[in-house]
Chains A and B, each alone.
Chain A
Amino acid sequence: MDILPILSTLRRHKVTAFLVILEIALTCAIVCNAVFLIIQRVDRIHMPSGVAEHELVQIQLADTGAKADEYARAQEDLAALRQIPGVTQVASVRQVPFGMSSNNAGIRLDPDQNKPTLDAATYFGENVIDAFGTRLVAGRNLRPDDYRRLDMVAEGVRTKNLKLFPNTVVITRAVGERLWPGQDPLGRTLYLGKAPLQVVGVLAELVRPQIEDDSAALFSLVIPIQLGGGQYVIRSAPGDRERVLKAALEKLRQNDPHRIVVQKRTMDELRESFFQNDRAMAGLLIGVCVALLVVTALGIVGLGSFWVAQRRRMIGVRRALGATRHDILHYFQTENFLLATIGIAFGMVLAYGINLFLMLHYELPRLPAVYFPIGAVVLWLIGQIAVLGPALRAAAVPPVVATRSV
């Protein structure tokens, strides 16, 4: 196909051709960045939690009257929950992954250090590791003799008596890598305030309840502190969860009717509500991308139709001089391809610029190069699809048009 005649035609329609190019360029730039944002959101929505998400339910209770002996009641609750058929693990907890409310602590490598080295979520409670179903990759699980009661620990905080604190901790791999890069964290000591904790186990992953910085999402500790109940995590086969939840609520009501249920939900629901804003944003961006591509396609259709109508005589003459329908079709397709290519080239530069702006103002990473060819292919395709209608109409112009005066 000869490109020169197309170029010379386009030169006579500078303004319209320029508008099409500009529109394609802008669309290309916006779509590249929007798709990048969508992929990031989708990645975030699928962030690993490290727990057996499809098997867990969370129940949170609150007392309405005077409290009974919390610790005894917690043991009763746990025993009762364990008896429910289908329940494989039970734990008393203070917070759950993606639960939004979180206890965090500054971790120091030296008790006299001024600023903590990192901030991590602190999971308390018995049997947390087994109940969550997180994978221990090194060391051992926490043992009953590691545990201290929360009220004793609080007493220790008040009286500054370090003996009342637990001595051991299980950390995630991410914490280990940050504290001691490239070294084995097992057996090492970290400090919570002044309290030393020895690392006895390492978990593959355990996500925090509340994530402010995605790079710190897996910074969690499991500290052997026994809780006075109030919040439980129950593990069962995925299909049993509904039934187990009902039975558990009944058992807990029997144990102490003076409590209200503040929270009852599956881990899947937790994840769902945790990422709701990301999902809404991804949905909106997808909508905008589709609409943008449709608008651009409509523009190409409109302009294509105009050019075809304007060049009816020229097409007729060419047909009369021996050009096949195929040649005419090709002519318009090539013309569109040319415009799209120029537009895409500008679009890439623009996309890069927009990305720089977003990096500056929204702390987004750099746009990976792979988006450029994908964006190009998408716009080429859209252009070809949009121009097909007008081009076919052009190809259908009979040669006899050339003989008519107007």
Chain B
Amino acid sequence: MLAYYLGLALHSLKQNRVLTALMVLAMGLGIGASMTTLTVFHLLSGDPLPGRSGQLFYPQLDPTPTAAAVLPGNMNYIDAVNLWQAKRADRQAIMVGGNIKTKAAQTGARPMSLHTLATTADFFPMFGVRFTQGNAWTPADDLAKARVAVISRSASNRLFHGESGLGQNIRLGQWDFRVVGVIDDWRPTPHFYELDRESYGGGDEVFIPFLTSRDLAKLGVTGYSLNCYGNTTDDLHLENQPCLWLSFWVELDNSAKAQAYRQFLDNYAREQQVLGRYAQAGPPRTALPDVMQWLDQNGVVPSDVSLKTWIALGFLLVCLMNTTGLLLVKFLRRTTEISVRRALGASRQQIFMQCLVEAVIVGMAGGALGLLLALAGLWGIRHTPADYADLAHLDLPMFAATFVISLAVSLVAGLLPAWRACHIAPALQLKVI
């Protein structure tokens, strides 16, 4: 029966090419515009580490003298190192970044400015970073303040001109570091573990042990935002300064552990109040958001993008009404044909189905056109200079979503016209003939 409806629908669509083309074009434009912006939205609000982000948490403490509405986004040195040494989570890492002049250690090599992250050994297994060569440094290297580094594949290619950088020395500032590992280029999107840098920018290229970076304070790895809440006396040796500049992430494999860690944070904060390090009295101000909560808290999806999504949905709505109107016109124009079919025994239900099939065909054609337009739209976005531009690709879920949305839109658009069409009184129409 469906095949017959398909045949009928195609026949009817062919009979009125202009109207059909209008409907497909309108649907296509609507689907295309909404899919373009929805893809960008989906991409920017996506999970940076699918499957892992639920177990990663960002402990927050408040050592500042006045209680601001939101908890500080970074930690000072003492708190970060205390929590790191407490080792109360399954894994934990301190991290702080900076742009550091880097070159291969041999003379004559060209220096370049690379995104450098000073962190601790757990960083790599905690975030599931894949190594192509070598390994991460060990916790012993952390404590020994070893001059070792892990670099990304693209940094390795640029520094060593395509040759393997493993075991070679690189020079950061004026100090040499031995490369112990090369990682696959790794760019979680958004750049969740350090939001002070552009949220959608490139990945980190050089990784060095955090304590080593403190040992070589002149290297100047002090993060992209330094927020001090008291009088400072030094802006390179930040160990004892009342400044918030470090990020600290922990991995907690289940909710019981997360609960326990939260408790630990509260106790820690109370202890610090007793010790007089925290000036604020009252219940401890702590928080333990996971990755997605942390992103949400920081409003990482640019408001422009969500605004565009609203516009796209509005556009889709207009196209929906347009298609409804045109389908209505199309079906009502065929009252005679429908009346004949009804008189020959077709039930209302059958007429209804036939009309819906026709609507769906229009929807699918519109969806296909919309897909092409969305691809063109995303191509256009890739050629704008926005910092997320090169990420704008249609992935498989969005590809599928295009057709699901077209199907849904065409069904919704077809409902009213089909209902009207199946309620045509055949006798009245037939009399006219």
Residues of chain A at the chain B interface (Cβ within 8 Å)? 15-16, 19-20, 22-23, 26-27, 29-30, 34, 37, 62-66, 157-158, 260, 262, 273, 276-277, 279-281, 283-285, 287-288, 291-292, 294-296, 298-299, 301-303, 305-306, 309-310, 358, 362, 406
Contacts and interface: CB of A to CB of B under 8 A. Distances in A.
B325 A281 contact: no
A23 B318 contact: yes
A283 to B, nearest CB: 7
B427 interface: no
A134 B165 CA distance: 49
A26 B320 CA distance: 11
B386 to A, nearest CB: 5
B258 to A, nearest CB: 31
Q: Which 8 A-B pairs have the closest CB atoms?
A: A306-B329, A19-B325, A299-B322, A280-B384, A276-B385, A302-B326, A23-B321, A64-B111
| Chain A CB within 10 A, most for which of B18, B174, B324, B329 | B329
B81 interface: no
A280 B305 CA distance: 11
Contacts of B304: 277, 281
Contacts of A158: 233-234
29 contacts: A15-B328, A16-B328, A23-B318, A23-B321, A26-B314, A26-B317, A26-B321, A27-B318, A30-B311, A37-B307, A157-B232, A158-B234, A260-B112, A273-B385, A276-B385, A277-B386, A281-B308, A283-B384, A288-B311, A288-B312, A291-B33, A292-B318, A295-B322, A299-B322, A302-B23, A306-B329, A362-B307, A406-B432, A406-B433
Interface in B177-231: none
B63 to A, nearest CB: 18
B319 interface: yes
A306 B329 CA distance: 6
B22 interface: yes
A298 B314 contact: no
Given A19-B325, A362-B303, A292 B315 contact: yes
A324 B26 CA distance: 34
Contacts of B385: 273, 276, 280
B308 A66 contact: no
A30 B318 CA distance: 10
B207 to A, nearest CB: 21
Contacts of A15: 328, 416, 420
Contacts of A276: 384-386
A287 B304 CA distance: 15
A66 B174 contact: yes
Given A276-B384, A295-B26, A296-B322, A19 B328 contact: yes
Contacts of A288: 33, 311-312, 315
A16 B37 CA distance: 30
B115 interface: no
Contact of B315 (A30, A281, A301): A30
Interface of A, helix, strand, loop or mixed by DSSP: helix
A310 B314 CA distance: 31
Interface string B311-343: 110110111011011101110110000000000
A386 to B, nearest CB: 11
B74 to A, nearest CB: 17
Most chain-A Cβ atoms within 10 A of its Cβ — which of B37, B112, B302, B322?
Answer: B322
B329 A16 contact: yes
B30 interface: yes
Given A260-B111, A295-B318, A298-B22, A303 B384 contact: no
A20 B307 CA distance: 26
A295 B386 contact: no
B116 to A, nearest CB: 14
B113 interface: yes
A295 B174 contact: no
Contacts of B315: 30, 288, 291-292, 295
Which of B234, B314, B432 has the most A CB atoms < 10 Å from its CB?
Answer: B314
Given A19-B328, A66-B174, A273-B385, A295 B319 contact: yes
A59 B317 CA distance: 50
Interface of B: 18-19, 22-23, 25-26, 29-30, 33, 37, 101, 103, 111-113, 174, 232-234, 302-304, 307-308, 311-312, 314-315, 317-319, 321-322, 324-326, 328-330, 332-333, 381, 384-386, 416, 420, 432-433
Nearest to A281: B304
Contacts of A291: 29, 33, 315
A212 to B, nearest CB: 12
B29 A262 contact: no
A60 to B, nearest CB: 11
Nearest to B373: A291
A249 B19 CA distance: 64
Given A16-B332, A158-B234, 7 more contacts: A15-B416, A16-B329, A22-B321, A276-B384, A285-B311, A295-B29, A298-B26
Contact of A16 (B234, B325, B433): B325
A350 B130 CA distance: 52
Nearest to B307: A362
A16 B314 CA distance: 20
B19 A62 contact: no
B18 A305 contact: yes
A34 B322 contact: no
Find the residue from A34, A284, A285, A305 having the highest chain B CB count within 10 A. A284
Contacts of A301: 22
Given A158-B234, A299-B26, A260 B322 contact: no
A280 to B, nearest CB: 4
B314 A30 contact: yes
A90 B103 CA distance: 31
Contacts of A292: 315, 318
A309 B233 CA distance: 85
Counting chain B CB atoms within 10 Å of each CB, which of A16, A301, A362 scores highest? A16
A22 B416 CA distance: 15
Nearest to B384: A280
B367 to A, nearest CB: 15
B318 A26 contact: yes
Contacts of A65: 174
Contacts of A16: 325, 328-329, 332
Contact of B329 (A63, A277, A303): A303
Nearest to B303: A362
A294 B416 CA distance: 24
A358 B324 CA distance: 28
A34 B37 CA distance: 15
A273 B304 CA distance: 17
A395 B22 CA distance: 23
A4 B333 CA distance: 25
Contacts of B308: 281, 284
Contact of B103 (A22, A37, A64, A358): A64
A20 B33 contact: no
A298 B322 contact: yes
Among B18, B315, B386, the most chain A Cβ lie within 10 Å of the Cβ of: B315
Contact of A302 (B30, B234, B319, B325): B325
A298 B25 CA distance: 9
Nearest to B432: A406
Nearest to A279: B384
> Which of A29, A63, A294, A306 has the most CB atoms of chain B within a 10 A radius of its CB?
A306
Contact of A309 (B29, B317, B333, B381): B333
